[in-house]
C-alpha cells in the first residue's frame, strides 16, 4: 500500500501490477549510537507502517524493491537483501487499507485488488543515515526515522517483519560484512565496535573485537582522526573495495 498512486487506487483490477504480491522494506540507519528504522504514517489515519509497494508486470522483483527504497530515501546505491516471505493467512486484514484509501478520498469496493489477500516479500536495506532524505508519498503524513526500540504500533504484521529483518541482519554481520553499509566511508574501530554492539544488543570485548576485525583482512587503515592530543587520536579505517 505504501507509495500507492491515484491510478493504482482507483483501478479496481490493478492492471499493470502483479496481484497478490507486495514488497515491504525495512530500511535501517545508524545514528547517535542508535539503530534507526524508516517508517511512514498514512494521511489522516494515525496508522504507521513500513515503506512498501507493488511489482509491475514487466519488472524484476529486486528492481521493484530498489525502486521502493529509492523513492523513500532518495538514494540509488543501496545494500538490499531479500530475507523472508510473509504469507500467513492471519496477516490478511483489509480493514486498515480500506481506512487508508477512504482517508485519501476513495471509498473502495470489497472487490478492489488492494483489499485482496497479499503475500509480502521482505527486504532489508542498509543506508548511510546522513545521506538519506526521507521522502513521503502523497498518501503519507510523514516518512521519518524512529529508534528501533521506540517504534509506534505498526499495522498488520509489520512489527514482526522488523524483528525478522533485525535477526537476519545480525546473522549476516560477519559472513556478509553488512554492517559496513551503515557507516560512513571512514570510521574508527570504536565506531565499528559500537555499531556491532548496537545491532547485536550486547557488549563486546574491545581487544578481541579489534583482533577479529583486523584478522579478516578487509580493513584499510587511514590517517588518524584528530580529536585532541596526538596520543589520543584513533586511526580511521576504510572498507577495502
What is the overall mean pLDDT for the chain? Answer: 90
Of the pLDDT bands very low, low, confident and very high (cuts 50, 70, 90), residue 234 is confident
What is the number of H-type helices and E-type strands within the chain? 6, 10
**CB neighbours of residue 189 within 10 Å:** 18
User: What is the separation of C-alpha 38 from the centre of its chain, rounded to a whole number of angstroms?
Assistant: 6
Interval 159-213: pLDDT, tens: 999 999 999 999 988 777 788 889 888 899 999 999 999 999 999 999 999 999 9
d(CA 58, CA 83): 23
In 3D space, the residue among 113, 133, 142 whose CA is nearest the CA of residue 54 turns out to be: 113
DSSP 8-state symbol, 25: E
pLDDT for 84 equals 98
Q: Which one has a higher pLDDT value, 106 or 119?
A: 119
Q: Do the Cβ atoms of 143 and 136 come closer than 8 Å?
A: yes
Interval 41-99: pLDDT, tens: 999 999 999 999 999 999 999 999 999 999 999 999 899 999 999 999 999 999 999 99
Residue 56 pairs with which residues in a beta bridge?
A: 17
Cell, residue 213: 576485525
Q: Is 26 helix (H, G, I), strand (E, B) or coil?
A: strand
Of the pLDDT bands very low, low, confident and very high (cuts 50, 70, 90), residue 239 is confident
Q: Show me where the domains of the chain are located.
A: 6-172, 183-239
Hey, what CATH topology would domain 6-172 get?
A: Nucleoside Triphosphate Pyrophosphohydrolase (3.90.79)
pLDDT mean over 8-12? 70
* CATH number for domain 183-239, candidates 1.10.1270.20, 1.10.357.10, 1.10.1040.10, 1.10.10.10: 1.10.10.10
Q: Which one has a higher pLDDT value, 225 or 18?
A: 18
Of the pLDDT bands very low, low, confident and very high (cuts 50, 70, 90), residue 1 is low
Q: Longest Cα pair distance anywhere in the chain, in angstroms?
A: 70
Amino acid at each position: 500500500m505504501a507509495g500507492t498512486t491515484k491510478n493504482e487506487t482507483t483501478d479496481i483490477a490493478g492492471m499493470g501490477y502483479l496481484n497478490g504480491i507486495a514488497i515491504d522494506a525495512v530500511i535501517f540507519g545508524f545514528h547517535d549510537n542508535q539503530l534507526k528504522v524508516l517508517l511512514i504514517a498514512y494521511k489522516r489515519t494515525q496508522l504507521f507502517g513500513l515503506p512498501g509497494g507493488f511489482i509491475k508486470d514487466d519488472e524484476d522483483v529486486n528492481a521493484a524493491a530498489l525502486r521502493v527504497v529509492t523513492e523513500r530515501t532518495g538514494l540509488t546505491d543501496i545494500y538490499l537483501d531479500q530475507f523472508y516471505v510473509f504469507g500467513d493467512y492471519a496477516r490478511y486484514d483489509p480493514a486498515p487499507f480500506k481506512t487508508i484509501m477512504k482517508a485519501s478520498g476513495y471509498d473502495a469496493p470489497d472487490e478492489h485488488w488492494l483489499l485482496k489477500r497479499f503475500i509480502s516479500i521482505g527486504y532489508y536495506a542498509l543506508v548511510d543515515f546522513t545521506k538519506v532524505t526521507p521522502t513521503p508519498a502523497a498518501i503519507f503524513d510523514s516518512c521519518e526515522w524512529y529508534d528501533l526500540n521506540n517504534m509506534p504500533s505498526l499495522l498488520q504484521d509489520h512489527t514482526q517483519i522488523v524483528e525478522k529483518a533485525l535477526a537476519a541482519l545480525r546473522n549476516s554481520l560477519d559472513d556478509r560484512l553488512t554492517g559496513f553499509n551503515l557507516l560512513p566511508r571512514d570510521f574508527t574501530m570504536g565506531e565499528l565496535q559500537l555499531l556491532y554492539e548496537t545491532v547485536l544488543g550486547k557488549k563486546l570485548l574491545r581487544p578481541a573485537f579489534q583482533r577479529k576485525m583486523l584478522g579478516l583482512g578487509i580493513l584499510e587503515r587511514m590517517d588518524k582522526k584528530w580529536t585532541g592530543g596526538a596520543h589520543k587520536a584513533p586511526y580511521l579505517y576504510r572498507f577495502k573495495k
